Amino acid sequence: MSFPNVRMRRLRRTEALRTMLDQSQVQPSSLIYPIFVDETITEPVPIVTMPGYFRYPLDRVVDEGKVALEQGVRGVLLFGVPAKKDEVGSGAYARNGVVQKAAKKLRSQFKEDLVIIGDVCLCEYTDHGHCGVIDKEGAVQNDETLELLGKTAVSQVEAGVDIVAPSAMMDGQVLAIREFLDDADFEQTPILAYSAKYASAFYGPFRDAAESTPKFGNRKSYQMSQGSVHEALREMELDINEGADMLMVKPALAYLDIISLAKSSFDVPIVAYNVSGEYSMVKAAALNGWIDEASAVNEVLTGIKRAGADLIITYHAKNVKDWLK
> Under the rule (CB under 6 A), what is the footprint of ligand PBG?
119, 121, 123, 131, 167, 203, 206-207, 275-276
Q: Which of 85, 197, 263, 283 is catalytic?
A: 197
> Which SS3 state, helix, strand or coil, does residue 142 take?
helix
> How far is the C-alpha of 155 from the C-alpha of 137, rounded, in Å?
30
Q: Which of 85, 105, 151, 250 is catalytic?
A: 250
Structural contact between residues 251 and 304, judged by C-beta atoms closer than 8 angstroms:
no
> How far is the C-alpha of 204 from the C-alpha of 208, rounded, in Å?
7
| Residue type at position 9 | R
Query: What minimum distance in Å lies between the beta carbon of 312 and ligand PBG?
Result: 12
Q: Which is nearer to ligand PBG, 71 or 280 (CB)?
A: 280
Give yes or no: 283 in active site.
Answer: no
Which residues partner with 312 through β-bridges? Answer: 31, 272
Q: Which is nearer to ligand PBG, 28 or 34 (CB)?
A: 34
Q: Which is nearer to ligand PBG, 132 or 308 (CB)?
A: 132
Structural contact between residues 103 and 156, judged by C-beta atoms closer than 8 angstroms:
yes
Q: Which is nearer to ligand PBG, 3 or 216 (CB)?
A: 216
Query: What minimum distance in Å lies between the beta carbon of 203 and ligand PBG?
Result: 4
CA dihedral 98, 101, 106, 108 (to 10 degrees): 180
Give yes or no: 66 in active site.
Answer: no
Q: Which is nearer to ligand PBG, 158 or 211 (CB)?
A: 211
Query: What minimum distance in Å lies between the beta carbon of 20 and ligand PBG?
Result: 34
> How far is the C-alpha of 199 from the C-alpha of 19, rounded, in Å?
37
| Residue type at position 82 | P
Query: What minimum distance in Å lies between the beta carbon of 310 and ligand PBG?
Result: 19
Q: Which is nearer to ligand PBG, 33 or 206 (CB)?
A: 206
Using CB positions, name the residue nearest to ligand PBG: 206
Question: What are the residue numbers of the active site?
Answer: 197, 250
